[in-house]
Amino acid sequence: MLQIDVITLFPEMIENAASFGVLGQALKSDLLKVFSHTPREFAQDRHRTVDDRPFGGGDGMIMLAEPLEKTIQKVQHKNSKVIYMSPQGEVLSDMKARALAKEEHLVIICGRYGGIDQRIINNYVDEEISIGDYVLSGGELGALVVIDAVSRMVPGVLGHSESANQDSFSEGLLEQPNFTRPRQYLGAEVPEVLLGGNHKLMADWKKKVSALVTLVKRPDLFQAYLEEENLKYRSLKKKKTEAPLKELQKFWNNLSLQDRKVLGLEELSEEDFNG
Ligand SMILES: C[S@@+](CC[C@H](N)C(=O)[O-])C[C@H]1O[C@@H](n2cnc3c(N)ncnc32)[C@H](O)[C@@H]1O
């Protein structure tokens, strides 16, 4: 079981938002527990003050070290990983979410105002995590993003054991487009191959469409994927197949114009396969 303790001035934000959907269901099981704690509990004065002006001046207030330290000490144990949500941290990725899901206990500190006293970071924080290169007014939305992404990677949380492995990023690629009934809608038809029952054919088709979609939408990810595929290809003793990019080009050439359009691949051209 993974336990996550969130340190926040707004515990209701975490509790309410975490109660919906897949995450809400997971919290009813024994696979995942999320608790929230407020540093106000350890504030020293009758106003329950948890912030003060920064030394040296500057805009905004800074969260006081002592109430934060006491809250961390209340929840931390020897197997805890302490995370501070921060725009200065490593940007959250699929790989990071998978790694965090293997931990036993996460403590997530949400900053507010101008942030937290640096000495808390120096003494207690194992990792700073950002959810992107922009500044939020508090760490709670970031913490919820981390909790949601991590919970999906905890074995048993997703109904179908394979689901997370079919999602975007799991193999370095974006997921292929999906369709449901009806077969024809908005003047477009679902690709024929998805209607047949040939699972191997469908799996191979989906993988190739995934690669093409990634080439269109995220050339940076595609480049990294291609480098890995090329390495695997070079290590093959008997080269029965084409080089990865050539094989993909062939697949794209054989797609009907109608399928290219419904898959969002019509803007690809021969040039995209030249290196
Ligand atoms: C207004 S921000 C403080 C920003 C800080 N003064 C700085 O420039 O690095 C308040 C809090 O929001 C959270 N936060 C802001 N942007 C974030 C991001 N991109 N990812 C994760 N947390 C963020 C952090 O917990 C931060 O302490």
The two structure tokens encoding residue 196: 């047949």
Q: What gap in Å lies between CA 262 and CA 48, rounded to an integer?
A: 58
Specify whether the CB–CB gap between 142 and 111 falls below 8 A: no
Domains annotated for the chain, with CATH where assigned, are: 2-151 (3.40.1280.10), 168-273 (1.10.1270.20)
Pocket probe mutation, ligand 1, options 135, 145, 148, max atoms within 8 Å of Cβ: 135
Tell how far the Cα of 110 is from the centroid of ligand 1, in angstroms: 8
Q: What gap in Å lies between CA 114 and CA 99, rounded to an integer?
A: 29
Q: Is 111 annotated as a binding residue?
A: yes
Q: Quick one: pLDDT at residue 135? A: 98
Which tens digits make up the pLDDT trace of 139-195?
A: 999 999 999 999 999 999 998 655 777 788 888 999 999 999 999 999 999 999 999
Q: What gap in Å lies between CA 188 and CA 168, rounded to an integer?
A: 24
Coil, strand, or helix at residue 143? Answer: helix
Closest residue by Cα to residue 100 from 127, 73, 69: 127
The two structure tokens encoding residue 25: 């269901």
Which tens digits make up the pLDDT trace of 52-111?
A: 999 999 989 999 999 999 999 999 999 999 999 999 999 999 999 999 999 999 999 999
Q: What gap in Å lies between CA 33 and CA 16, rounded to an integer?
A: 14
Number of CB atoms found within 10 A of residue 134's CB: 7
Residues contacting ligand 1 via CB (< 6 Å): 85-88, 110-112, 114-116, 130-132, 134-139, 142
Pocket probe mutation, ligand 1, options 86, 116, 133, max atoms within 8 Å of Cβ: 86
Mean pLDDT of the chain: 95
Smallest CA separation from ligand 1 atom 6, residue: 114
Question: For ligand 1, what atom is nearest to the CA of residue 63?
Answer: 27
State the pairing for strand pair 184-185/188-189.
antiparallel
Closest residue by Cα to residue 250 from 270, 267, 222: 270
Which tens digits make up the pLDDT trace of 7-53?
A: 999 999 999 999 999 999 999 999 999 999 999 999 999 999 999 99
Q: What gap in Å lies between CA 169 and CA 175, rounded to an integer?
A: 8
